[in-house]
Amino acid sequence: MKKLWGGRFTKSAEEWVDEFGASISFDQELVLEDIEGSIAHVAMLSKTGILSVEDGEKIKAGLLTLKKQAENDELTFSVKLEDIHLNLESQLTDLIGPVGGKLHTGRSRNDQVATDMHLYLRRQVKLIVELLNELQVVLLEKAESHIETVMPGYTHLQRAQPISFAHHLMAYFWMFERDKQRYQENLKRINVSPLGAGALAGTTFPIDRAYSADLLTFDSIYENSMDAVSDRDFILEFLSTSSILMMHLSRFSEEIILWSSQEFKFIDLDDSFSTGSSIMPQKKNPDMAELIRGKTGRVYGNLMGLLTVLKGLPLSYNKDMQEDKEGMFDTVKTVVGSLRIFAGMIQTMKVNEQGMEQATKNDFSNATELADYLSDKGMPFREAHEVVGKLVLYCVNKNCYLQDLSMKELKEASNLFEDDIYHVLNPRTAVERRNSAGGTGFKQIEQAIEKAKLCVLEKEEVK
């Protein structure tokens, strides 16, 4: 099979060299985007008179036939033709004759592949925003049903203060909201057209880049042709944003793994998101959460890989940049899959409300309430902190908790204690009283949920 660029060469590469240099094994993922960009390009060539209307219509009809075949998975690709662009151009020429060779007028594979990736990432980022939005809806629904579910809050993985389970869930809602905003910002850089930049210097043909950009619903065009064909910032930004999202999902996964353990028993994951053991029949493993935690590393690797590829490249296009695609495709697959799994996992998990609340009664997470109580009575907080610290030590030695102490024992520590202290020491009271803005108090959570509902996009807004 003759290469479309082979006129300059007198010797063919060995087969294994062709295979090493070819990208068709992975860039066939861009088949629909490549056809979409080509349809816009030929429409522009016809409009500007670079191609006759008759040739333009013939090429467009051929491209639409290829599109239908691609959608039906009927196209075959050859390593000999290197990439998706040459494969499609060859098949177009086979379909409609030599006029198919006119499609490449006024463009290069350099601006063609950049256009394909912009179109691909635009579609995928919109899907990711939609999936993030769906996960936020699931979190809101779960939070609304657990506003008054009390659980231990942790610092250093040690019980710190009692909180609402809804408050804990909503912390992730706001992380995902920032992730969603980052992707939406990324879309601004993605939605720029490189088409018509040529190999690096533009073209002598009287093309209309604004027209082809408009056909592809890009917001604008690259202002510099060299930048257009060598820019991969928009992919780096996508990989960076995806790494931050996967970090959030990984942290949440870690908590789900802990909460579902026998040591915590805070939640029970649905069987559809768990697996068993081949040797231990009692096991129910949180494998989906563990996989998401593990897959975070491959997304980080994709970001570092592309940063390393690009760091020493002179302008403009270099073959090294062929390495920009596999990590991008892999990240899209990983992020989309993780978000779909996570939404289902959260939606179907059962919450052990009694177990969570009981855990707050068997620790010293109400110690801060005691210190705040004394401070409210006029004792300097540092002095109150020391008084309560000594009471905690006393309880540890006596093998009891603060709420178990008698009034006599409390009075020995400070005369400021009154009978109302037992109400204050109740974990539920401790949560309810934390009514500062953004706090875990029940009223604050209700307000936070209402505010959060304004951040959830309707599907038409996502699009």
Neighbour tally for 308: CB within 10 Å: 11
Distance of alpha carbon 443 from its chain centroid, rounded?
31
* Dist CA 198 CA 204 (whole Å): 10
* Dist CA 400 CA 363 (whole Å): 9
Distance of alpha carbon 274 from its chain centroid, rounded?
22
- Active site residue: 250, 277, 338, 436, which one? 277
Long-range contacts of 161-164 (CB under 8 A, 24+ apart): 161/365, 161/366, 161/368, 161/430, 161/434, 162/360, 162/365, 162/366, 162/427, 162/428, 162/430, 162/431, 163/431, 163/440, 164/431, 164/440, 164/442, 164/445
Residues 216 and 37 sit within 8 Å (Cβ to Cβ): yes
* Dist CA 340 CA 143 (whole Å): 19
Take residue 57 and report the two structure tokens written for it. 């219509």
* Dist CA 162 CA 424 (whole Å): 12
**Among 350, 307, 346, CA closest to 327:** 307
Whole-angstrom distance between the N-terminal and C-terminal Cα of the chain?
42
Take residue 418 and report the two structure tokens written for it. 């009154």
Element containing residue 390 per DSSP (H, E): helix 381-398
Q: Is 277 a catalytic residue?
A: yes
Q: Is 12 a catalytic residue?
A: no
Beta-bridge mates of residue 221: 193
Residue written as tokens 């088409």? 195
Residues 56 and 42 sit within 8 Å (Cβ to Cβ): yes
CB-based burial label for 141 (10 Å; 0-12, 13-18, 19+): middle
- Active site residue: 156, 272, 278, 406, which one? 156
Give the residue numbers marked as catalytic: 156, 277
